[in-house]
Amino acid sequence: MALQCGIVGLPNVGKSTLFNALSSAKAEAANFPFCTIEPNVGVVTVPDERLSILENLVNPERVMPTVIEFVDIAGLVKGASKGEGLGNKFLANIREVDAIVHVIRCFNDDNVVHVAGSVDPIFDKEVIDTELQLKDLESVDKKIQRLEKIAKSGDAKAKKHLEILQIFKEGLKAGKNARAIDVEKEDLEAIQDIHLLTIKPVLYLANVDEASILTGNEYVDKLKENVKDENAEVITLCAAIESQIAEFDDPEEKEMFLGEYGLEESGLNKLIRGAYSLLNLITYFTAGVQEVRAWTIQKGWKAPAAAGVIHTDFERGFIKSEVIKLADYEKFKSEAACRENGKISIEGKDYVVQDGDIMHFRFNV
């Protein structure tokens, strides 16, 4: 399951610069709005040091990391929900992603124009929020109109869904994102088919200047204060630095470069880790002489569902799974040695896969 994150933000906040740094798919970065007319998709491998550990132990023919897709969605502007700035097209692109990475400008630079005339991260955030909320309000209204006639006929489910839709309508009108509207989990069925934009989890990416990369600045502080009740993470990075990091092929040179700025890891690593946490994702591994591979699943998935990401037949004909913990594999150096020392557990259909498990599935179809 490839995770797809849509990168959104006002024009000239550093979206395309960041996207170029994150992926090999190059978007045009320019000092004017709408330099990205079609959404660009970049596929980035997810760094995971556990893969290197397994590679050294197993010595496979190939190593296959899991991937994350970044979709660079052209800059939204005020009025996007009504079609301004090609907004309808871009809002449709947002609807297709798993999570939203909202890039917000938190740096001063007289050479890079700001669409509103001055740097104000809260204004930037609210412009995007408002446009997404207005589009969601339109979707909710349309469904309310569809259900009203059915509810009048006495349909209990339609009546219940209407009640929930009214809650979302009032919340959106009050300037709330759908993810912040308090309803029971089972009530989300009422909005499932209309794919609300503001129900999607969001990561705020504060794009700062080089001087603020370690300490942040007043703009970052304002942003964190503004979103503290949203249960959303704010990640600080410098797109300009990320662009330079992306140019290094040698890991040691990259590490030295990071050290010059006092950084322990790149912004990309922080972003991927934040995205995985946001979407409640974990990784398990398969390891053999032909291939060592990472697989992404939802936290809490049981063994048959986890097997299904490899092939649907694995889930359909699931018999059992053999599980080795990475620490045991490291200690005993091979699968055979783990077996001899009783460190392979046999798990059935109710086993909940844990992050870092090394799995081997038995199935029959």
| pLDDT tens digits, 98-140 | 999 999 999 988 776 555 667 899 999 998 899 889 989 999 9
Average pLDDT, the chain: 87
Structure tokens at 85: 């700035």
Distant-in-sequence, close-in-space partners of 209: CB < 8 Å, separation ≥ 6: 107, 108, 109, 217, 238, 240
Q: What is the mean pLDDT of residues 26-36?
A: 42
| pLDDT tens digits, 248-265 | 888 899 899 999 999 998
Residue 31 has pLDDT above 70, yes or no: no
Q: How far apart are the C-alpha atoms of 254 and 99, rounded to whole Å?
A: 28
Low-confidence winner among 157-161, 179-183, 340-344 (lowest mean pLDDT)? 179-183
Residue 42 has pLDDT above 90, yes or no: no
Residue 320 has pLDDT above 80, yes or no: yes
How would residue 33 be classed by pLDDT, with cut points 50, 70 and 90? very low
Domains of the chain in sequence order = 3-46+65-120+200-278 (3.40.50.300), 128-198 (1.10.150.300), 300-363 (3.10.20.30)
Neighbours of 345 (CB within 10 A): 13
Residue 169 has pLDDT above 60, yes or no: yes
Residue ranges of alpha helices (H) inside the chain are: 15-22, 49-58, 87-95, 121-152, 156-173, 218-226, 239-245, 251-260, 267-278, 303-308, 312-316, 326-332, 335-340
**pTM as predicted:** 0.82
Specify the pLDDT at position 292.
97
| pLDDT tens digits, 199-241 | 999 999 999 999 999 999 999 999 999 988 777 889 999 998 9
Specify the pLDDT at position 32.
39
Specify the pLDDT at position 147.
94
Distant-in-sequence, close-in-space partners of 255: CB < 8 Å, separation ≥ 6: none
Q: 347-351 long-range contacts, Cβ below 8 Å, gap at least 24? A: 347/303, 347/320, 347/321, 347/322, 347/323, 348/303, 348/320, 348/321, 349/302, 349/303, 349/304, 349/318, 350/302, 350/303, 351/302, 351/303, 351/321, 351/323
Select the more confidently predicted residue: 151 or 78. Answer: 151
How would residue 30 be classed by pLDDT, with cut points 50, 70 and 90? very low
Q: What is the mean pLDDT of residues 295-305?
A: 96
